[in-house]
Amino acid sequence: MAYNLLKGKKGIIFGALDEKSIAWKVAQRAQEEGATFTLTNTLSSIRFGGIEDLAKNCNTIVIPADATSIPDLENLIDKSMEFLGGKVDFILHSIGMSLNVRKKRVYNDLDYNYLNKTLDISAISFHKLLQVAHKKDAINDWGSVLALSYIAAQRTLFGYNDMADAKALLESIARSFGYIYGREKKIRINTISQSPTPTTAGSGIKDLVGLMDFTERMSPLGNATADECADYSIMMFSDFTRKVTMQNLFHDGGFSSMGMSQKAMHQYEKGIDCKC
Ligand SMILES: NC(=O)c1ccc[n+]([C@@H]2O[C@H](COP(=O)([O-])OP(=O)(O)OC[C@H]3O[C@@H](n4cnc5c(N)ncnc54)[C@H](O)[C@@H]3O)[C@@H](O)[C@H]2O)c1
């Protein structure tokens, strides 16, 4: 159901690769709620994903940008403002990638060139985006910027590897820039910490199926889906959350506040002799 929550609002959405992507669902919901926006991703993801189809359905354009490149980000902001006819009201940063995870380098044997890439793509790109937007004064007063995070920023989860460090940095950038943007322009900056979700990036998480089963059993409300994450993002872009800023917002069915649940305990009792 649509409520016109984003009627008249303009935005930029990073990270829609295919229809499983969280950003893809956010784009669909943003359109239903009356927003206009541009879409962006890397050239290779545009080639191999389905973002052009999404753009067609959303009556918009795709502007290629590597989120680690300042010239690409400058071009993206300029072209977006040109296409949308002015400043934007919301931006979604939905980007994550670790070469250490992809190349199966474990946390106590990291390749440091890969680590730099992980941090640049998954966290520092958020700073770069905010800095470029700030210099170009590209976001309207009372705008809203969101990035997607994961609970591995606060708690150690086996196998999440250097992405845990990237998410901790990402959340810190949201707070630090949130202060500046809030003070100067009443613009809010938050991260949503999402449940494990079966997407391309999600499949990089060690044993995603087992992890999702565990978090489902542990969360009183169950795992949050990509569609539900899109609903939450729309609320965060709407005028109903104008005083929420510098927060890491858990969207995980309650998982982050749990220690042990009845469902997990039942499952655990079946395999209590595990020595791992
Ligand atoms: N899937 C999960 O379990 C989960 C859980 C919590 C948080 N998240 C976060 O949600 C966000 C979106 O991931 P997703 O699960 O929708 O997966 P996804 O694979 O669909 O999206 C990741 C996107 O990052 C883009 N990307 C990678 N490098 C880039 C670069 N240099 N410049 C611009 N874009 C680049 C990819 O092209 C892709 O579109 C990520 O930040 C991810 O860490 C995912």
**Helix (H) / strand (E) containing 90:** strand 88-93
- Residue 2 in domain: no
Q: Which whole-number Å values give the CA distances from 117 to 162, 192, 235, in the listed order?
A: 10, 22, 32
By the 10 Å C-beta count (0-12 exposed, 13-18 middle, 19+ buried), 143 is classed as buried
Q: Domain range holding 208?
A: 10-266
- Residue 96 in domain: yes
CA of 93 to the centre of ligand 1 (A): 9
What is the domain count for the chain?
A: 1
> Could you list the pLDDT tens digit for every one of the 276 residues in the chain?
899 999 999 999 999 999 999 999 999 999 999 999 999 999 999 999 899 999 999 999 999 999 999 999 999 999 999 999 999 999 999 999 999 999 999 999 999 999 999 999 999 999 999 999 999 999 999 999 999 999 999 999 999 999 999 999 999 999 999 999 999 999 999 999 999 999 999 988 888 999 999 999 999 999 999 999 999 999 999 999 999 999 999 999 999 999 999 999 998 888 766 666
- Residue 276 in domain: no
CA of 95 to the centre of ligand 1 (A): 4
- Residue 37 in domain: yes
CA of 188 to the centre of ligand 1 (A): 21
Long-range contacts (CB closer than 8 Å, 24 or more residues apart) made by 165-173: 165/115, 165/118, 165/119, 166/96, 166/98, 166/118, 166/119, 166/121, 166/122, 166/123, 167/122, 167/123, 169/119, 169/123, 169/124, 170/122, 170/123, 170/126, 171/248, 173/123, 173/124, 173/126, 173/127, 173/130
- Residue 272 in domain: no
CATH number at residue 28: 3.40.50.720
- The binding-site residues of ligand 1, defined as CB within 6 angstroms of any ligand atom, are 14-15, 17, 21-23, 41-42, 45, 66-68, 94-97, 121, 148-150, 194, 196-197, 199-202, 205
SS3 80: helix
Ligand 1 atom showing the smallest separation from residue 167 Cα:
43
Q: Which of 18, 22, 197, 233 to mutate to test the pocket of ligand 1 (most atoms within 8 A of CB)?
A: 22
- Residue 3 in domain: no
- Residue 25 in domain: yes
Q: Which of 21, 171, 250 to mutate to test the pocket of ligand 1 (most atoms within 8 A of CB)?
A: 21
Q: How many CB atoms lie within 10 A of CB 9?
A: 22
Residue whose CA is at the smallest distance from ligand 1 atom 9: 148
**Helix (H) / strand (E) containing 194:** strand 188-194
CB 68 within 8 A of CB 42: no
- Residue 163 in domain: yes
CA of 131 to the centre of ligand 1 (A): 21
- CA gyration radius, the chain: 19
